[in-house]
Structure 1
Amino acid sequence: MTIIGRSHAAHLEHVEAPGAMLTKTAARTLAVLRVATGFVFLWAFLDKTFGLGYSTPAERSWLNGGSPTKGFLSSVDVGPLQGFFHTIAGAAWADWAFMLGLLGIGVALILGVGMRIAAVAAVAMMAMMWFAEFPLAQHTSAGEATHSSNPVTDYHFVYAVSAVTLALTYAGSTWGLGRIWSTLPFVQKHRWLI
C-alpha cells in the first residue's frame, strides 16, 4: 500500500474522475438547482403572504385575510382525496402548515441547511399537491377534461425528486451554508438535521 503525501492528495481532490465523485462543475450546477428550487417555494410564500399580484392579488393575500389554501383546495374536482381537500380548504391549521412548509423549504434550500428535512417536507407537500391535481385522471368528477399532459411525471414530481437529489448530494455545501451547518454541535448530535 502506498501512502500518498499531502500535496498529492490535495491535487487528487481537484481531479475530475468520471463516476467517482461530483466534479466542481456538477457541484456548482447542483447549487444553482438548489437555489432555483428554493426560490420556487420561497416565492410562492412571498406572493401568497403579501399578494404581489402574480398568483395572488393584494386583496386576497394572507396578510389581508385571504386563505392560501381555500381557493386551490376547494376547487379540487378530481382524484380519490377530493373530499378530504374540500374539508381542509381554508382551515387555519392547513393555511399555517402550507405557508410554514413553503417558507421552511424555500429558506432551507436557498441557504443549503437542513436539506434532509427540506427534502422530506418537499416530498410530502408535492405529493399532496400531486393528489390534489391528480394527473392520472383525464376527466374531472363532472366529466370535463382535466387537461393533464402527463399521467405521472409533472412538476410536483420533478420538484420532489430535485429536493431529494439535492439532499443526497450535499448540495448545500457548495455556495451555501451546508458545511458550516453540519459542524454545529447540535447538528452533529442530530445528524438528521443535516
Structure 2
Amino acid sequence: MTTTALDRPAVSTRPAAVLLGLVRIVFGWVMLWAGLDKVFGLGFATPAERSVLSGVSPTKGYLGNLDGPAAAVMGPLAGNVVVDVLFVGGLVLGGLALLLGVATRVAGIGAALIFAPLWFTSLPLANNPVVDQHLVYVLVGLLLAFTPSGTALGLGAVWARLPFVRDHAWLR
C-alpha cells in the first residue's frame, strides 16, 4: 500500500511535537493575556478606565472607529453585547484551553474566527500589502486545531480519554 504525506501523522518527531506544544502555549498566552487585559485593564493595551470592569465595551472603540473597507460590515457590530462576550470570552477561554492543551480543535478554530475579522478590519495594512500578525494568528490557530497540538506539553491526551470528549471528537 502506498502512503502519502496526508496518511502520515501530523507530527512525527519529538522535537516537532515539542515545538508545536510551545507554539500552542505561547499563542494561548497571547490570547489569554489580551482577554485579561481587556477585562481588567491591566495597563498594557487597555488602561483600567477602558476595561470591561469599568463598563466599557471591548469592541466599541475599535470597531466604531473603522474607516477602511471593513467599516460598513464590521462597524455596526461595535458595542454589541453578544459580540463583546464572544470576543472577550473567546480570548480568555480559548487562550486558557490552548495553554492547557485541551479542546484545541475548538480553541484553534475559535482563534481563527477572532483574528480573521481583525485582519480584515486592518486593511489596508500599513507595513505589508497582505500579511500582518492577525493573519499569522489565523494560520497558527488552524494549525493548532488540526494537529495533535495538545498532546505535547499539555493535557490533550488525558482530555481525549474523557468519555464525553471521546464521544464528541470535535471537542479534542
Quick check: TM above 0.5? yes
Structure 2 portions without partners, runs of 5+: 1-8
Query: What are the Cα deviations for residues 103-159 of structure 1, in whole angstroms up to 9, with x where unaligned?
Result: 12101110111111112111111111111112xx3xxxxxxxxx6222222111111
2:43 equivalent to 1:70: no
Counterpart of 2:42? 52
Paired amino acid for 2:21: A
2:74 equivalent to 1:96: no
Report the RMSD for the aligned CA atoms in angstroms.
1.6
- Inter-partner Cα distance in structure 1 for 2:157 and 2:122: 37
Counterpart of 1:158? 136
Displacement of 1:189 after TM fit?
0.8
- Inter-partner Cα distance in structure 2 for 1:21 and 1:166: 11
Q: TM-score, normalised by structure 1?
A: 0.80
- Kindly tell me the number of residue pairs found equivalent between the two proteins: 164
Displacement of 1:61 after TM fit?
0.7
| 1:20/1:190 CA distance change after superposition, 3 Å | closer
2:106 equivalent to 1:128: no
User: Does the aligned pair in 1 maintain the 2:11–2:17 contact within 8 Å?
Assistant: no
Displacement of 1:87 after TM fit?
1.2
Identity %: 45
State how 1:109-148 maps to structure 2 within 5 Å: 109-134=98-123, 137=124, 148=126
Counterpart of 2:156? 178
- Inter-partner Cα distance in structure 1 for 2:23 and 2:153: 11
Larger radius of gyration, structure 1 or 2? 1
Structure 1 portions without partners, runs of 5+: 1-18, 138-146
Q: TM-score, normalised by structure 2?
A: 0.89
